Amino acid sequence: MSFSDLLEWVVGYLTQPMLETTLDIFTIFGWIFLGWLLLVAGFKLLATYKVIRYDRKLNYILLAVDVPPLNEQTPKAMEQLYTQIYNVMKPASIGMTYWHGFRQFDFSFEIISIEGYIQFIIRTLDKYKDVVEAAVYAQYPDAEITEVEDYVNVAPKRYPNETHNIWSCEFILQEDQAYPIRTYEEFEHSITKDAVLKDPMSAFLESFSRIGPGEQVWFQMMIEPVRESEWKEGVIKKIKEEIGEKTPAKPNFFLDFLNEPSSTMGEVKNQLLGQVSAEAAPAKKDNPDKNSLLYMTPGAKKIVESMENKIRKTGFRTKIRFVYLAEKAHYNPSRCINSVVGAMNQFSIPTSNSLKCKLPTSAEYFMSKQRENRRRNILMGAYKSRDMYAGKDPYILNIEELATVWHFPMSYVTAPLLQKAVNKSAEPPPGLPVEGVSIRDDELPNAGKKEFSTDAGPEYSKDQQFG
Residue at 449 is within a domain: yes
Considering the domain architecture, whether residues 134 and 76 belong to the same structural domain is answered as: yes
Residue at 53 is within a domain: no
Number of H helices, E strands in the chain: 13, 12
CA distances from 258 to 123, 180, 240, 275 (A): 56, 43, 31, 24
Quick check: 241 and 185 in contact, CB under 8 A?
no
137 SS3 class: helix
pLDDT digits 0-9 by tens, 204-245: 888 898 888 999 999 999 999 998 888 999 999 999 888 877
- Cα–Cα distance, 255 to 140 (Å, whole number): 60
The DSSP call for residue 348 is -
CA-wise closest residue to 114 among 202, 205, 212, 203: 212
CA-wise closest residue to 358 among 310, 402, 390, 400: 390
- Predicted pLDDT of residue 261: 47
- Predicted pLDDT of residue 87: 87
Residue 9 sits in which domain range? 3-43
Considering the domain architecture, whether residues 37 and 140 belong to the same structural domain is answered as: no
The DSSP call for residue 331 is -
Considering the domain architecture, whether residues 101 and 36 belong to the same structural domain is answered as: no
- Predicted pLDDT of residue 55: 75
- Predicted pLDDT of residue 191: 52
In this prediction, the residues of the chain whose per-residue pLDDT falls under 50 are 253-255, 257-262, 265, 268, 272, 278-288, 290, 425-426, 437-439, 441, 443-445, 447-448, 453-467
Considering the domain architecture, whether residues 18 and 80 belong to the same structural domain is answered as: no
Residue 124 has phi, psi (to 5 degrees) of -155, 165
Please give the tally of structural domains in the chain.
2
Residue at 219 is within a domain: yes
Considering the domain architecture, whether residues 77 and 137 belong to the same structural domain is answered as: yes
Considering the domain architecture, whether residues 196 and 317 belong to the same structural domain is answered as: yes
Query: Who contacts 301 (Cβ-Cβ below 8 Å, separation ≥6)?
Result: 293
Considering the domain architecture, whether residues 190 and 337 belong to the same structural domain is answered as: yes
Residue at 55 is within a domain: no
Residue at 272 is within a domain: no
CA distances from 341 to 142, 286, 345, 354, 409 (A): 31, 48, 6, 12, 19
Considering the domain architecture, whether residues 25 and 152 belong to the same structural domain is answered as: no
Residue at 99 is within a domain: yes
Q: Burial level of 299, CB count in 10 A (0-12/13-18/19+)?
A: exposed
- Predicted pLDDT of residue 463: 43
Quick check: 22 and 83 in contact, CB under 8 A?
no
Query: Who contacts 8 (Cβ-Cβ below 8 Å, separation ≥6)?
Result: none
Query: Who contacts 174 (Cβ-Cβ below 8 Å, separation ≥6)?
Result: 348, 353, 354, 355, 356
Residue at 270 is within a domain: no
Considering the domain architecture, whether residues 72 and 29 belong to the same structural domain is answered as: no
Residue at 206 is within a domain: yes
Considering the domain architecture, whether residues 180 and 77 belong to the same structural domain is answered as: yes
- Predicted pLDDT of residue 367: 80
Cα Rg of the chain (Å, integer)? 30
What does pTM read for this prediction? Answer: 0.75
- Cα–Cα distance, 258 to 269 (Å, whole number): 18
Considering the domain architecture, whether residues 23 and 172 belong to the same structural domain is answered as: no
Considering the domain architecture, whether residues 231 and 191 belong to the same structural domain is answered as: yes
